[in-house]
Amino acid sequence: MKKLVNNDLQGPVRTCMVCRVRFQKHDLTRHVWRGEWTPDKAYILPGRGYYCCAGEACKAKFPKRAAAVRKGKGEGKRDEA
């Protein structure tokens, strides 16, 4: 997984919703809410996709962070820790 620098933008770029670091799209896991958080490995499920990097801390915080954003309570806020 490669973190991006501004001059390194080639192809689709997405941001991990937990650590807010930008990565190439296919270096992140996309999740879609379908009654529960469902990984979208093919990047084709309908609905709003939330991206998470492979960092252990990010994977642990993802469900809580994604639920808050989905409910409109955490939009634009960043977890510090």
Cβ contacts of 38 within 8 Å, gap of 6 or more: 31, 32, 45
Q: What is the layout of strands, in order, in the sheet containing 29-33?
A: 37-39, 29-33, 49-52
Model pLDDT for residues 38-74, shown as the tens digit of each residue = 999 999 999 999 999 999 999 999 999 988 888 775 5
What percentage of residues in the chain have a pLDDT greater than 90? 64
* Beta-strand pair 29-33/49-52: antiparallel
pTM: 0.75
Q: How far apart are CA 30 and CA 48, in angstroms?
A: 10
CATH of 6-70, one of 3.40.430.10, 3.30.420.40, 3.30.700.30, 3.30.1230.10: 3.30.1230.10
Q: Structural domain boundaries of the chain?
A: 6-70
